[in-house]
Amino acid sequence: MTLPEASRFPFTADLSICRILNGMWQVSGAHGAIDPGRAVAAMDAYHDAGFTTWDLADHYGPAEDLIGNFRRRFAARHGAERLGEIQAFTKWVPHPGAMTRRVIEDAIEVSLRHMGVDRLDLLQFHWWDYRDQRYLDALRHLADLQTDGKIRHLALTNFDTERLAVITGHGIPIVSNQVQYSLVDRRPAAKMAAFCAEHGITLLTYGTLLGGLLSEKYLGRPEPGRAELTTASLQKYKQMIDAWGGWALFQELLASLKLVADKHGVRIANVGVRYVLDRPAVAGVIVGARLGVSQHIADNARTFDFALDADDLAALDPTLAKSRDLMRLIGDCGDEYR
Ligand SMILES: NC(=O)c1ccc[n+]([C@@H]2O[C@H](COP(=O)([O-])OP(=O)(O)OC[C@H]3O[C@@H](n4cnc5c(N)ncnc54)[C@H](OP(=O)(O)O)[C@@H]3O)[C@@H](O)[C@H]2O)c1
């Protein structure tokens, strides 16, 4: 299987990505045990199918090491000259504290070493507390490391529109912001997407499949209790569904999605991902991969085989109109972390 050309996106002038990125929070241990050998073997299958772009973080358990192992295997299989076919986007989520050049340099060195690269393709920066303005110090040092060739591109995760404006106003070159975006959590459409589109910044999205809740598996199912929510991801997005409108309304959404999916001969997950891929400023959707445990490669590939039309979107509107306004309830992108 190879993905069509439409699966690719010119993320930057020098980086083409797959519009469905493989999310590696699922190897952190909070989504079931992962066997490192099986996980790396599974990574070959994703890459070979055309899913060449990985989203990871310094704190996702062994994720950076898995990238390192995968790259070594890949070089042995195909030759080191083809390593450029892999895109690996990591994050740095620092503990609050002084953001000196030394602190930043040490953190980046750790990621470079684990991933087995001389330069990070993308470094996505997270910050917990906006009252602590040292996030600007950190970003200035990161920009210097970019100039030094340690980081190819600089990005953010979970920043709100207001701070994104502050950061770009300081002349710090940001290429993307990673935020939660799904049919349930549509907050990026309120302010973030327009700001990004205006400033040449793109969005990478997570939570688009609600940890797997947005699928046939949960259609017609009674509300799952805590014991059934067996991954950190399922727990996180069940809470989001509760805030958004609850299980009964979610069932109504799944039923509408099923009709749309059937019309196109695809699955509910395909419609959910396609919907977000088609939104302004969205470069890619990150879909979590429990490497070596479960995989949906063939299913997710179908996302690139169909288009949603105006009737499809109109069919979803009545349900979406009944949901609560999460901008008002939670705040802008990332405010749930603060
Ligand atoms: N920046 C941040 O703060 C942040 C936060 C959360 C996540 N993320 C990123 O986003 C990634 C995705 O994580 P997420 O929590 O948002 O999870 P998600 O992508 O919404 O859900 C992943 C789960 O969906 C199921 N799935 C995948 N494809 C499917 C398909 N075609 N049909 C049915 N089910 C399907 C799988 O469940 P099974 O394994 O059970 O089959 C998979 O484990 C993470 O790995 C991470 O890279 C970032």
- Condensed to tens digits (0 to 9), the pLDDT of residues 270-326 reads 999 999 999 999 999 999 999 999 999 999 999 999 999 999 999 999 999 999 999
**Res 256: pLDDT:** 98
216 CB near ligand 1 (under 6 Å): no
**Interatomic CA distance for residues 54 and 15, integer angstroms:** 13
> Do the beta carbons of residue 295 and residue 47 sit within 8 Å?
no
**Res 2: pLDDT:** 85
Distance of CA 55 from the midpoint of ligand 1 (Å): 11
Instruction: Name the region of 281 (left: φ>0; alpha: ψ -120 to 50; beta: rest).
Output: left
Task: Give the position of tokens 């996702």.
Answer: 60
Distance of CA 22 from the midpoint of ligand 1 (Å): 8
CA-CA-CA-CA torsion for 58, 60, 62, 68, nearest 10 degrees?
-50
290 CB near ligand 1 (under 6 Å): yes
The radius of gyration computed from the CA coordinates of the chain, to the nearest angstrom, equals 19
CB environment 262-292: b (16+ within 10 A), e (fewer):
eebebbbbbbbbbbbbeeebbbbbbbbbbbb
319 CB near ligand 1 (under 6 Å): no
175 CB near ligand 1 (under 6 Å): no
Token pair belonging to 78 = 């195909």
**Interatomic CA distance for residues 221 and 13, integer angstroms:** 45
**Res 1: pLDDT:** 64
**Interatomic CA distance for residues 48 and 2, integer angstroms:** 8
- The model's confidence at residue 95, banded by pLDDT at 50, 70 and 90, is very high
pLDDT exceeds 70 at position 147: yes
> Do the beta carbons of residue 105 and residue 137 sit within 8 Å?
no
Q: What is the pLDDT of residues 205-256, one digit of tens each?
A: 999 999 999 999 999 999 999 999 999 999 999 999 999 999 999 999 999 9
Token pair belonging to 229 = 């929510």
Q: What is the mean pLDDT of residues 115-142?
A: 98
| Chain centre to alpha carbon of residue 98 | 28
Q: What is the mean pLDDT of residues 11-38?
A: 97
In 53-111 the beta strands, taken as DSSP E runs, fall at 53-55, 87-92
Nearest CA among 281, 218, 293 for reference residue 254: 218
The residue length of the chain stands at: 338
> Do the beta carbons of residue 247 and residue 241 sit within 8 Å?
yes
Distance of CA 192 from the midpoint of ligand 1 (Å): 22
Distance of CA 243 from the midpoint of ligand 1 (Å): 19
